[in-house]
Amino acid sequence: MKTILSSLDGMHQKVIDALHEGILFCDRKGIIRIINKCYANLLGGDVLSFLGKPIEDVNPPTRAYIVMENGKEETADLCTLPLFGNEYKFVVNRIPVKDGDAVVGMISHILFTDPSDIDSLNSKISSLYKKMHEYEVQHENNQSFSELIGNSPKMLEVKALIKRYAHEPHPVLVQGKTGTGKELVARALHNMGDRKKKPFVSINCAAIPEHLLEAELFGYAAGAFSGAQRQGKQGLIELANGGTLFLDEIGDMPLVAQVKLLRVLEEKKLTRVGAVKEVQVDFRLITATNKNLEKMIEENLFREDLFYRINALSIILPPLSERGDDIIDISRHILTKINFHGDITTEALEALLRYDWPGNVRQLFNSLAFAALHCTNKQIGAKDLPAHITGDLPSKEKTQCRTRLNDFIQQEERQFLINEVRKHSGNISAVARSLGISRVTLYSKLKKYKITTS
């Protein structure tokens, strides 16, 4: 039996000696009971020279007794060892060992035994982080603009203005009804502009209670009011320093806050609530509203001087009802975004085209999400849409909607065929095979759309 135990102890030692990381175990009295070759080398000796010794004798600044006393592990801490001095630091885990509720010892586990290992790891992490950040910036840049779906004349005008205004330093006022995508426009302006690598801070002025808005925007000094953080707080405007500040629903901003915002825009400085010292700020301002600010000025609800300050450049978003067949493209984009892998029938698309959409794109998104949950066989029909969208309409209007939809589908099919003919250099057999149709059917379609193969 003793021979077997001795053999097991020997194998156990060989196993932990094979590790490139330091392992040490001391009991509750601080006596070293287990140590591997790596850890012993770091202490300047061999395994046998440390077994049975108090841990404080070989490493005076040890925290072993603290860990065993409170029973809490310490992970990824930095420590020094006598042999190497204070300049050479190791990454160590200290783990209490328990028998039931009682702490019976502690494991010291040194992860990195060479500073170059840490430097190499840090270098790799920094490199990966930099690449990830570059990909994120590029992705956000592309994504924000690609989210503005549609090629109707009014949307093409909006996209052209975004490209024109993106690199300008002047404030932009984005106007449009609720749900038209004002924040998407703001993000596109930021991500395509010179400040794209700096913060984009978005604030919905209507969502923050009036009595808190000023403190949230401008921040506050220590002890500025009851319930404030002891050390004070940086405001959202300060957080946007160097980047873009987006004030959504600015028409809901209280007049008192409007006065302070105007001063910030004019002087590029702000004073936190309850403070005396001014803070320098630099940001690109984008605002948005669904209200008629000029009418609010007449009713003394919005400052005229602030209006002219924020309205240097203006983008007006059209409502969904004025964007024609964009509704079809947006619908398909939304279904992709919500991971719906089915289809949508012609009747359902007709219903979407003839509805007025008072809630605009946001309402369309919610309606399609509803339909995707209620459809069967992965196909959205008119019956799957919310009832208020599929109400009965005069047959004349239905005919007009169907005509618009058919025209759109035919235009798409014609362009698709032209692309396939070009792709296969006019080879009719190759085009037919690619589409999975007969040559006779293909010739019929080419004749219908007056497409030549030359």
Among candidate residues 224, 158, 225, 219, the one with its CA nearest the CA of residue 186:
158
Among candidate residues 67, 108, 116, 114, the one with its CA nearest the CA of residue 90:
114
Confidence of residue 394 (pLDDT cuts 50, 70, 90): very low
- pLDDT for 114: 57
- pLDDT for 39: 93
The topology (CATH level 3) of 147-316 is: Rossmann fold (3.40.50)
The topology (CATH level 3) of 322-448 is: Helicase, Ruva Protein; domain 3 (1.10.8)
Q: Does domain 2-113 have CATH number 3.90.1150.10?
A: no
What's the pLDDT tens digit per position in 339-353? 888 889 989 998 999
Confidence of residue 61 (pLDDT cuts 50, 70, 90): confident
Above 80 in pLDDT, residue 2? no
Which of the two residues, 110 and 274, has the higher pLDDT score? 110
Above 60 in pLDDT, residue 276? yes
Q: What is the mean pLDDT of residues 54-76?
A: 91
CB within 8 Å of 116: residues ≥ 6 apart? none
Residue 23's φ and ψ, nearest 5 degrees, are -125, 130
Domain with CATH 1.10.8.60 in the chain: 322-448
- pLDDT for 116: 57
281 within 8 A of 268, measured Cβ to Cβ = yes
Structure tokens at 244: 């873009």
Whole-angstrom CA distances from 4 to 7, 48, 50, 83 are 5, 21, 24, 37
What's the pLDDT tens digit per position in 162-183? 999 999 999 999 999 998 999 9
Above 90 in pLDDT, residue 79? no
What's the pLDDT tens digit per position in 355-384? 989 999 999 999 999 999 988 888 999 999
pTM listed for this prediction = 0.56
Above 60 in pLDDT, residue 281? yes
- pLDDT for 136: 54
Unique residue bearing structure tokens 């310490």 = 74
Which of the two residues, 376 and 98, has the higher pLDDT score? 98
Confidence of residue 134 (pLDDT cuts 50, 70, 90): low
Confidence of residue 416 (pLDDT cuts 50, 70, 90): confident
Domain with CATH 3.30.450.20 in the chain: 2-113
Which of the two residues, 454 and 205, has the higher pLDDT score? 205
- pLDDT for 429: 83
- Whole-number Å distance between alpha carbons of 398 and 400: 5
Q: What is the mean pLDDT of residues 26-48?
A: 93
Q: What is the mean pLDDT of residues 429-452?
A: 80
Which of 6-15, 238-247, 413-422: highest mean pLDDT?
238-247
User: What SS3 class is residue 230?
Assistant: coil
How many C-beta atoms lie closer than 10 Å to residue 344's C-beta?
23
Average pLDDT, the chain: 83
Angle of CA points 359, 411, 151, to nearest 5°? 40
Q: What is the mean pLDDT of residues 302-314?
A: 94
Above 90 in pLDDT, residue 5? no
Unique residue bearing structure tokens 């809490």 = 72
- Whole-number Å distance between alpha carbons of 136 and 316: 28
